[in-house]
């Protein structure tokens, strides 16, 4: 019975042309004890993703240094040189993936928060 009442109320709000933002919907679905700062520049998702992307970037830079050291120490051995080149290549790919992931995550988080991305214009509801 309660589910039917909720469905009727929800469908009447949709029929009335409710045009809220994604953050309005997230705020409406938020429970009583859930934090209010999940999205945004200082939100929980942003903090977690920034820490994880920092760790990925730091590990990639460390592997780049290790690959360079392996390349210098290889002494002309072709298999060691090839292994060092692969380490450097994969470290560079890791850095590029970390940078792209940072850009995508920040774009998605700013979309959910309703705030404009850097240099963008805030959307208006008309």
pLDDT band for position 120 (cuts 50, 70, 90): very low
CB 37 within 8 A of CB 43: yes
CB atoms under 10 Å from CB of 113, counted, come to 20
Domain boundaries, the chain: 61-116
State the burial class of residue 23 (Cβ atoms within 10 Å of its Cβ: 0-12, 13-18, 19+): middle
- pLDDT attached to residue 106: 78
Maximal CA-CA distance, the chain: 78
pLDDT digits (tens, 9 = 90+) for 12-44: 555 555 566 666 666 666 666 666 665 556 667
Predicted model pTM: 0.56
The three-point CA angle 104-112-122 to 5° equals 95
pLDDT digits (tens, 9 = 90+) for 60-119: 899 999 999 999 999 889 999 999 999 999 999 988 988 888 888 778 777 766 655 454
């Amino acid at each position: 019975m309660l589910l039917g009442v909720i469905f009727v109320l929800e469908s009447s709000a949709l029929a009335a042309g409710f045009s809220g933002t994604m953050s309005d919907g997230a705020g409406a679905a938020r429970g009583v004890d859930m934090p209010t700062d999940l999205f945004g520049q200082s939100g929980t998702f942003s903090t977690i993703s920034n820490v994880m992307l920092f760790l990925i970037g730091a590990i990639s830079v460390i592997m780049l240094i290790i690959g360079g050291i392996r390349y210098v120490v290889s002494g002309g051995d072709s298999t060691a040189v090839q292994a060092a080149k692969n380490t450097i290549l994969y470290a560079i790919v890791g850095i590029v993936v970390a940078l792209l992931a940072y850009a995508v995550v920040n774009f998605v988080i700013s979309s959910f928060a309703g705030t404009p991305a850097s240099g963008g214009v805030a959307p208006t509801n008309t």
